[in-house]
Amino acid sequence: MSKNTLYGIFDCELVLLAAVKEIRANKIDIKEVYSPFPVHGLDKALGLKETRMAITAFIYGCIGLFLAALMIWNIMIVDWAQNIGGKPNFTFYHNMPAFIPIMFECTVLFAAHLMSITYLIRNGLYPGGVSDSPDVRTTDDKFLMEIEVEGDVAAVKAMLTKTGATEINEKDA
Amino acid sequence: MQKEAEIRDPLIIGNKSYHDITKDIAKPVEGKANKYWWILFSLSLVLFIWGVLCMAYTIGTGIGAWGLNKTVNWAWDITNFVWWIGIGHAGTLISAVLLLFRQKWRMSINRSAEAMTIFGVAQAALFPLIHMGRPWLAYYVFPIPNQFGSLWVNFNSPLLWDVFAISTYFSVSVVFWYIGLIPDFAMIRDRMSAKTAPMKKQLYSFLSFGWSGKAKHWQRFEEVSLVLAGLATPLVFSVHSIVSMDFATSIIPGWHTTIFPPYFVLGALFSGFAMVETLLIIMRKVVNMEAYITIKHIEYMNIIILLTGSLVGTAYITELFMSWYSGVEFEQYAFLNRATGPYWWAYAIMMTCNVLTPQLYWFSSIRKSFVATFILSIFVNIGMWFERFVIIVTSLHRDFLPSSWSMFSPTFIDLGIYVGTIGFFFVLFLLYARTFPVIAQAELKSILKSSGSEYKNKK
């Protein structure tokens, strides 16, 4: 059976949100939704899993903290211990109050940068990447719902119209 | 959809649709620059070139070209450094702290405020770089092994903390800014035609990283923005605290106080918001953003200026009280000399511009006036420059031996470099205003239906 892709275009995020809920309630799979701005509640309505970006930031932050401590311990205690203004220099923990600012900065540095890189990789974004949005108006003022249909195309089209799509385009696979 | 109380003033004025927002924000990028832009740009460019020549002269001849002497061995350059870093603070405060507090008014101003942060921190970084005398050895400040010629850096030193704090702050600000810019660059990319503007289309395609606005991407976008805001918030407070420790950990009377970190952070926010106002009041006219940067936005910022200005004033008075209460003659003299010594006029400018004039914002007519706000914001910019000058120079110029007491007067080169960084800053900002989406349009669209004037009136 041929597989058709339908693009339902919506003008308003509230109509879109209601449409997503109704269409999914009717057991029609929505392949993707493209929107010009983040629509609150859309991820839940689409049944997307929660993102784990914050967890990665925590892990990267811990790595940053550990590496900063390791670097400072190696430089200030092991490799070249110096007496600076009589400050304790034989053990890491005695000297640590003076090391906290840099350990903190490195934690933030690692967490922020590595999380952002992870974000770009997970989203497939890279300099010069090509957008796969089916309609350029989705970065302007239109919301686009992409549905792959096997079978009764007319029924799905009717469903889209009923839920408020202002325009329906079709692409043959 | 988000709900907003009826009594709140709208944040977007006029009958705007999503498409209108797109058009308005893409307009400065697509259109030609007007006369005012060219005048401002040429002026800034001249100042910048003058600054570059003065920097080249300094590097060629040495720091002796500056007005420093044996007693006042740190003056104009560090004053400018702290001033620029302080200006940078409002950008992160607006984009990060106000995001955590869910303040919707930040959305029309955060992009430009962050741009100001990045350009301001870049100017700040120039000063220590030039002051090194041999800027090509700047990599000595990073922890590189002893074999490279220098010894390991000293992790006990606030100057090294500063290196880490400022480089982290700068790079994290750039990343935070860029993550938000990607969807907006995509908007501009999708408006450009490959036929009429192929170069521009390619440029914005490159910059927008192939953004398409999928639901999952937006979900990650929101979480990443939130986490970056959470990380940037302690970062912004740490940066100016660490800058203040450059002074506070030394034993110079007038510097050696525990109040410095909060006092510097508040001062930074105070001066940063003033600079945001100075820039935005001009920008909303030059690139026609009157519908998005409203008097309400200005009023909110004025309230923050009033609060931080009053807190800075409290800190000044606390300093005076503590120097008297400490019973230490040197401390007492340092502050007496500050207020009544040869630099009394600098102290008077600082007190007037930072403590007295911002109090005018108690009057709502002044708080809600673009002209008054613009004038007062310039006062704050000047006052905060003098605050740093007063703290730095008056604490040094009468040191422990009266025979070595002296005064500081800047040379032509000192002035040139300072004015040059102002020129450089405006060159960057003006270029930004013509090539970047100056308002975070994607986020702004998400509040149109809760905070737009048309939608508020309908209810």
pLDDT score of B354 more than 70: yes
**Angstroms from A154 CA to nearest CA on chain B:** 25
Mean pLDDT of B93-109: 85
State the first-to-last Cα distance of chain B, in angstroms, to the nearest integer.
14
Q: Is the pLDDT of residue B421 over 90?
A: yes
Decide if A102 and B160 are in contact by the 8 Å CB cutoff.
yes
Average pLDDT of chain B to the nearest whole number? 88
Average pLDDT over residues A7-24: 86
Report the CATH fold assignment for A3-50+130-172.
Alpha-Beta Plaits (3.30.70)
Within chain A, what is the greatest distance between any pair of CA atoms? 83
On whether any CB of chain A is under 8 Å from the CB of B228, the answer is: yes
Cβ(B453)–Cβ(B124) under 8 Å?
no
Residues 6+ apart with CB under 8 A from B253: B328, B330, B331, B333, B334, B395
pLDDT tens, residue by residue, B238-287 = 999 999 999 999 888 889 989 999 999 999 989 999 999 998 898 888 88
Chain B nearest C-alpha distance from A40 (Å): 7
Residue B114 tokens, joined: 């962050």
- Across B28-43, average pLDDT: 86
Please report, for chain A, the start and end positions of each structural domain, with discontinuous segments joined by +.
Answer: 3-50+130-172, 53-123
| Sequence-ordered strand ranges (E) for A45-166 | 143-150
Nearest to B420 by CA among B38, B36, B37, B58: B58
Q: Is B415 within 8 Å of B50 (Cβ atoms)? A: no
| Residue B224 banded pLDDT, cuts 50, 70, 90 | very high
- Minimal Cβ distance to B227: which of A36, A53, A126: A53
Predicted pLDDT at B274: 92
B284 touches B276 (CB < 8 A): no
In this structure, what DSSP letter does residue B452 have?
A: B
The answer to whether B368 touches B299, Cβ cutoff 8 Å, is yes
Give the best residue of B155, B188, B441, B455 to mutate against chain A (max A CB count within 10 A).
B155
Q: Helix H segments across B327-367?
A: 329-340, 344-351, 364-367
Digit-coded pLDDT (tens) for B163-222: 999 999 999 999 999 999 999 999 988 888 878 888 888 888 899 898 988 888 999 999
Q: B459 falls in which pLDDT band (50, 70, 90)?
A: low
**Separation CA B260–CA B312 (nearest Å):** 11
In Å, the largest CA–CA distance within chain B is: 77
pLDDT of residue B25: 86
Q: Which of B227, B243, B249, B251 to mutate to test the interface with A (most CBs of A within 10 A)?
A: B227
B-chain residues within 8 Å CB-CB of A108? 168, 172, 231-232, 234-235
How many percent of chain A have pLDDT more than 90?
25
Is residue B458's pLDDT more than 70? no
Residue B152 has a pLDDT of 86
Q: Is the dihedral of CA B291, B296, B298, B300 positive or negative?
A: negative
Q: What's the pLDDT tens digit per position in A108-144?
A: 999 999 999 999 999 889 988 888 888 888 888 888 8
Chain A (46-85) residues lying within 8 Å, Cβ to Cβ, of chain B: 46, 48, 51, 53-54, 57, 61, 71-72, 75-76, 79-80, 82, 84-85
Per-residue pLDDT band for A173 (boundaries 50, 70, 90) equals: low
Whole-structure pTM value: 0.91
Name the B residues in 6-65 with CB < 8 Å from any A CB.
17-19, 22
Cβ within 8 Å, pair A39-B218: yes
Residues of chain B above pLDDT 90, percent: 47
Each residue's pLDDT tens digit, A63-101? 999 999 999 998 888 888 888 888 888 888 888 888 999
Mean pLDDT calculated for residue range B93-116: 86
Contact of B166 with chain A, judged by CB distance below 8 Å, is answered with no
Query: What value of ipTM does the predicted structure carry?
Result: 0.91
| Cα separation values, A4 from A9, A148, A149, Å | 16, 6, 5
At the fourth CATH level, which superfamily is domain B20-447? Formate dehydrogenase/DMSO reductase domain (1.20.1630.10)
- The closest CB to that of B209, out of A113, A127, A141, belongs to A127
